[in-house]
Amino acid sequence: MYKVTILGFDQAYASAITGVLDIFGLAGITWQRMQGLPIKPLFDVQIASLNQRHVKCINQLELNAHVSIESVDKTDLLLIPTIGGDPIEVLKNNVELLAHIRKHYSLGADIASNCSGAFFLAQAGILDKRMATTHWGYADLFRQLYPNVNLHIDRMITEQDNIFCSGGGMAWFDLALLLIERYAGHDIATTTAKAHVIDLSRGDQSAYASLRTKKYHQDVEILAVQQWLEEHFAQKVVVDTLCEKVNLTSRTFVRRFKRATEQSPLAYLQGVRVEAAKKHLEASTHSVERIVNLVGYDDLSSFTRLFKKHTGLSPSQYGKKFRR
């Protein structure tokens, strides 16, 4: 059997520990039971913590560790669950875990993190110059702390040099199914997904992300323009009009806007319009054509391309997935 070790620490997501424990422990087994086949476990799964301490999860659930991480000499897979608390604070309180992550990586184990668990991998130094992902809400903080990591925040899962990362807090089952397929083959991963009634693949996490407008800068004129764009995005907007509102030349305005928001005025406006379209698609019964008009576009095909670039889905696909 393959040995899977889940690293336990205080303020972890309980579901990212217990869910992984279940899905690996039952990989293939649930299907075998339903089909009346002989039971053949494929994975030996254990929770390991420092000194085998209880793991106090973010939802106040306390989990028993099976072993101490210090006693784990070798494992096929070391999995780091989601950090439920403040990532910086949790890292500060678990510095000792970093050496164990580096140890098992050097021994050839697969190392995988779910969601904000990627902060542990980056802090351990094993993500430098490698591809990674984390929860889209932590993108700015992650880039600030770990500029040497090749972050792909749109990806649900990244894989490079036997290091795996997954996106959002509940992306642990996407990651688990990928790793089950890696060890046990496509058929076992497929039957595990069917037995647990979950999708084998959900694509990118960009469809789940919300607009993160950068307003923590101190440029008052640019803040005023951002506010105006978010209130009047459905109108026809030209840069010269925006410049006039804050009495700046076009060149100065564009330079200051990019410096403050890290986007051009056009890209910012497009993001605001996409976010408005997403809200219409989630809550209204308007047709896609009508929604496109409501957010300031006349050409359905060009807006569809823009929307798909931002979310990974067409407007109609997004509506089917998220409409209330």
42-101 confidence digits (pLDDT tens): 899 999 999 999 999 999 999 999 999 999 999 999 999 999 999 999 999 999 999 999
CA distances from 74 to 68, 100, 211 (A): 13, 11, 42
The token pair at 148 is: 């040497």
The token pair at 272 is: 């605001």
**Residue 90 near residue 57, CB atoms below 8 Å:** no
pLDDT of amino acid 129: 95
pLDDT of amino acid 76: 97
pLDDT at residue 30 is higher than 80: no
Q: What angle do CA 160, 138, 222 make, to 5 degrees?
A: 125
Name the β-bridge partners of 6: 47, 79
pLDDT of amino acid 312: 84
pLDDT at residue 225 is higher than 80: yes
Q: Strand, helix or coil at 55?
A: strand
Tens of pLDDT, residue by residue over 209-219, are 666 667 777 88
pLDDT at residue 203 is higher than 70: no
pLDDT of amino acid 322: 78
The structural domains of the chain, ordered by start, are: 2-208 (3.40.50.880), 220-322 (1.10.10.60)
What secondary structure does DSSP assign to 168-237, as a single string?
A: STTTHHHHHHHHHHHHH-HHHHHHHHHHTT--S----SGGG--------S--HHHHHHHHHHHHHTTS--
**Residue 79 near residue 120, CB atoms below 8 Å:** no
pLDDT of amino acid 211: 65
pLDDT of amino acid 313: 87
pLDDT of amino acid 36: 81
| Average pLDDT, rounded, for the chain | 90
pLDDT at residue 200 is higher than 70: no
- Alpha-carbon dihedral sign for residues 322, 208, 163, 89: negative
The mean-pLDDT minimum among 214-223, 229-238, 249-258, 267-276 falls in 214-223
- Alpha-carbon dihedral sign for residues 277, 321, 179, 3: positive
Give residue for tokens 């301490």: 53
Q: What are phi and psi of 267, to 5 degrees?
A: -65, -40
Count of CA atoms in the C-beta half-sphere (13 A) of 244:
5
User: Which H helix or E strand runs over 265?
Assistant: helix 265-283
Strands 43-49, 67-68: parallel, antiparallel or unpaired by DSSP? Answer: parallel
Closest CA relative to residue 139, chosen from 78, 214, 217:
214
pLDDT of amino acid 173: 83
Tens of pLDDT, residue by residue over 106-139, are 999 999 999 999 999 999 999 999 999 999 889 9
pLDDT of amino acid 201: 63
| Length reported for the chain | 324
pLDDT of amino acid 98: 97
pLDDT at residue 204 is higher than 80: no
pLDDT at residue 266 is higher than 80: yes
The mean-pLDDT minimum among 4-18, 112-126, 257-271 falls in 257-271
d(CA 165, CA 80): 9
pLDDT of amino acid 17: 96
d(CA 181, CA 118): 21
What is this structure's pTM? 0.72
- Cβ count within 10 A of residue 211: 14
CA distances from 27 to 39, 170, 187 (A): 11, 18, 11
pLDDT at residue 199 is higher than 80: no
